[in-house]
Chains A and B, each alone.
Chain A
Amino acid sequence: MIYIITTWFAPSSIHRSSLLIMQRILYMIEKEFKQLRRNKVLLRMMLAAPVMQLILLAYAANFEVKNLKIAIVDQDHTTYAQRLAGKFRYAERRQIGNFLFQGYLPNSKSAYEELLAGRADLVLIIPPHFERDLGKENQASVQLLVNAIDGTKGGIASGYAQTIIRDFNLAIRTENIDFDAGSLAGLNVTNQYWYNPRLEYKTFMVPGILFELMLLIGGMIAALNIVREKEIGTQEQLNVTPIKKHEFILGKLTPFVIIGLIQFTLGLVVGRFLFQIPIEGSLLLIYGFAFLFMLLSVGLGLLISAISDTQQQAMFVVFFCLVIFILLSGLFSSTQDMPQWAQYLNLLNPLKYIIEVGRNVLLKGSTLRDMQSQFFTLLGMAIALIGLASWRYRKTV
């Protein structure tokens, strides 16, 4: 549990006034941690959230397409047709896609029905005279029906299917024409993926999720915390005390920055040991950025709390900002493929910069020199947000 025992002494009355400033901030921080320690639900949620989200997003919400349900309509009933169907039925063994064979269908009408009912993601129709055409005219066509309601899944499914068909094509041509397979495949392209050699989705996602969570804690929890004090009236009580603006802001800022860094550490440990995320760059650098980003997040929370009167308003504003930040951040899709206007909008998105930093420093080992433009942008944003929040925060209305 978090426990703060403040022990400080005023050595002499001369130092009293400068110590007083420090003292108020320390009493504020102590109070926040005492309240947090009693808020068991929130405390557990804040510690469980990084672990839960990492596991969920990294395992469940990924783009790998698995278990594609395939059905086949074979109207030819020849050896070739059966061989092609077999390629799909046993594709899994050959590690091409992940097809789950659902069975043969009598005709294309039933194929539509299967697609419509969602019992198949993909139907392969082998037309009559498939073998004959292939033998005689050296070409034949098959039809692929792909359920493309989920565009990504549809695209990937059809990609897998085309790979299998190309494979089959190559096999029969070599057999029949007695081609030299070597010369046919003279050009052999092998891909090598840098920085994420096994194209691990998790490696890519974890750094992003870590920072998204920090924004959530800083923005949401800090904003709601202060607005709650407004609602219950303790804010007014504080406003009649001689506490200074900057003492209040520092007193509120510090606990959340500490909590954010604890969460970040937790997430990093889970990422490292559960998902084997590489940490190529300097740990000090990544923590420096995490600290800066946490200041920025709490600054956003403070600003939102200064413009909201109720927790409901604050919640809505936070949610509005967060969804936009997350969708545009590059967490789920590449920012470079977004339309130009979205890219301009993204210049104001702190999450975009920090996710770039996270991925580059953790996966690629980038240094501060590589990340200096992100550093200055984030620094500027943090200063602007905290500055605006202090300007908006008033003890008098």
Chain B
Amino acid sequence: MDKAVTTHKLTKKFGDFVATDEITFEVAQGEIFGFLGANGAGKTTAMRMLCGLLTPTSGEATVAGYDVYTQPEQIKQRIGYMSQRFSLYEDLTVRDNIRFYGGIYGLSRAELKTKSASIIRELGLDSVADALVESLPLGWKQRLAFSVALIHDPKVVFLDEPTGGVDPITRRQFWDKIYEAAHNGTTIFVTTHYMDEAEYCDRVSIMVDGRIKALDTPTELKRTYGVDSMDGVFQILARGTSGK
């Protein structure tokens, strides 16, 4: 198993509507894989199929070497997931949230203790460790959610628009965390709207109307389309307008 994620003609239909249309791609281990597309392009649907939240209509897919149809529980033990909606418990404290998710992932008491201490220390949350999560600023919550998604050292972590609604400085800090995780060998699968974030990815795929229109490194994509930014590439592909 050397690929973190593979798909072959993966398709999801909702009635007559084809949300993802025969998408095929591979993600290498330890890669930061950007998944771009306009709203409604099918990014979230594709991601939810890979996480075992949605059953594909047809096609094949594996995550961490396991089949999405037959081995969803093995996949779930090996992936982390951070949805668009903030999904920690607002009415629990920082420490309680870490303890709960760690416990659900089957961490031992000793592991929980060290994980909890290291997350709180790394995020600089010592002063608010026993405060309710609802009292934290959004940027802090998102970094905490990311750390919690990594609590069981997953092979692949799926991030669905993780930086929506936060300021540029917090986004930069968030991406530092992503680099750090990738450096430790975790594969990052991230969807985003921000084109500057696309530049940070090892490889980027751009989805339009349920299909993958382009897939390459940011440098190659810019060269292919003759523009000097990912924003230009996205304008040409996603909006169907020329960025020139």
- From B53, B103, B108, B109, give the contact of A396 (CB < 8 A): B53
- Cross-chain contact A396 with B54 (CB below 8 angstroms): yes
Tell me whether B88 and A234 are in contact (CB under 8 A).
Answer: yes
Contact B91 A233 (CB under 8 A): no
Q: Does B125 contact A (CB under 8 A)?
A: no
Decide: A233 and B86 in contact? CB cutoff 8 A: yes
Once A24-B106, A31-B96, A38-B132 are accepted as A-B contacts, the answer to whether A397 and B54 lie under 8 Å apart by CB is yes
Q: Which residues of A contact B92 (CB under 8 A)?
A: 31, 34-35, 38
Given A38-B132, A240-B52, A242-B73: A232 touches B87 (CB 8 Å cut-off): yes
A8 to B73 Cα, complex, angstroms: 25
Determine whether B194 belongs to the interface, using a CB cutoff of 8 Å to chain A. no
Q: When chains A and B are docked, how far (Å) is the Cα of A243 from the Cα of B104?
A: 7
Q: How many residues of A contact B (CB 8 A)?
A: 30
User: B100 CB to closest chain A CB, in angstroms?
Assistant: 5
The contact of B76 among A9, A24, A234, A242, by CB within 8 Å, is: A242
Query: Is the Cβ of B85 less than 8 Å from the Cβ of A395?
Result: no
Closest chain-A Cβ to B50's Cβ sits at a distance in Å of: 10
List residues of A (97-129) whose CB comes within 8 Å of B's CBs. Answer: none
Interface residue from B72, B79, B85, B103 paired with A24 (Cβ < 8 Å):
B103
Chain A interface helix/strand/loop/mixed? helix
Contacts of B79 in A (CB 8 A): 240
Residue B89, interface by CB 8 Å: yes
Partner of B89, one of A31, A240, A241: A31
Given contacts A38-B132, A234-B88, contact A242 B77 (CB under 8 A): yes
- What would be 13 A-B contacts, judged by CB atoms less than 8 Å apart? A20-B106, A23-B103, A27-B103, A31-B89, A31-B100, A35-B92, A234-B88, A236-B83, A239-B52, A241-B76, A241-B105, A396-B72, A397-B54
Cβ of A10 within 8 Å of any chain B Cβ, yes or no, is yes
Interface residues of B: mostly helix, strand, loop or mixed? loop
Q: How far, in angstroms, from A239 to B104 measured CA to CA in the complex?
A: 11
The answer to the question of B81 belonging to the interface, with a C-beta cut-off of 8 Å to chain A, is yes
Whether B106 pairs with A34 at a CB distance below 8 angstroms is: no
In the bound assembly, the distance between CA atoms of A50 and B238 in angstroms comes to: 60
Judge whether B109 and A234 touch: CB under 8 Å: no
**Is B83 touching A396 in the complex (CB atoms < 8 A)?**
no
B101 contacts the other chain (CB 8 A) = yes
Least Cβ–Cβ distance between A8 and chain B, in angstroms: 8
Q: Which one, B53, B72, B89, contacts A397 given CB within 8 A? A: B53
Task: Name B98-128 residues within 8 Å CB distance of A.
Answer: 99-101, 103-106, 108-109
- The answer to the question of A188 belonging to the interface, with a C-beta cut-off of 8 Å to chain B, is no
Interface centre among A35, A234, A240, A244 (most CB of B within 10 A): A240
Give 16 new A-B contacts, CB below 8 A, not counting A31-B96, A233-B85: A8-B109, A27-B100, A30-B103, A38-B91, A234-B89, A237-B81, A240-B51, A240-B53, A240-B81, A241-B101, A241-B105, A242-B104, A242-B105, A396-B55, A396-B72, A397-B54
- A240 CB contacts on chain B under 8 angstroms: 51-53, 76, 79, 81
Interface residues of A (CB under 8 A from B): 8-10, 20, 23-24, 26-28, 30-31, 34-35, 38-39, 232-234, 236-244, 395-397
Q: How far is the CA of A31 from the CA of B72 in the complex (A)?
A: 25
Query: In the complex, A232 Cα to B90 Cα: how many Å?
Result: 10
Chain A residue numbers with a CB within 8 Å of B86 are: 233
CB distance from A332 to the nearest CB of B (A): 38
Across the interface, A27 reaches (CB within 8 A) one of B77, B81, B88, B104, namely: B104
- B residues near A35, Cβ cutoff 8 Å: 89, 91-92
User: In the complex, which residues of chain A have a beta carbon less than 8 angstroms from the beta carbon of B55?
Assistant: 396-397
CA distance A397 to B53 in the complex (A): 6
Is the pair A396, B96 in contact by a Cβ cutoff of 8 Å?
A: no
Q: Which residues of A contact B81 (CB under 8 A)?
A: 237, 240
Residue ID in chain A nearest B85 by CB atoms:
A233
**Do A233 and B83 touch across chains, with their CB atoms under 8 A apart?**
yes
**CB neighbours of A243 from chain B (8 A):** 104
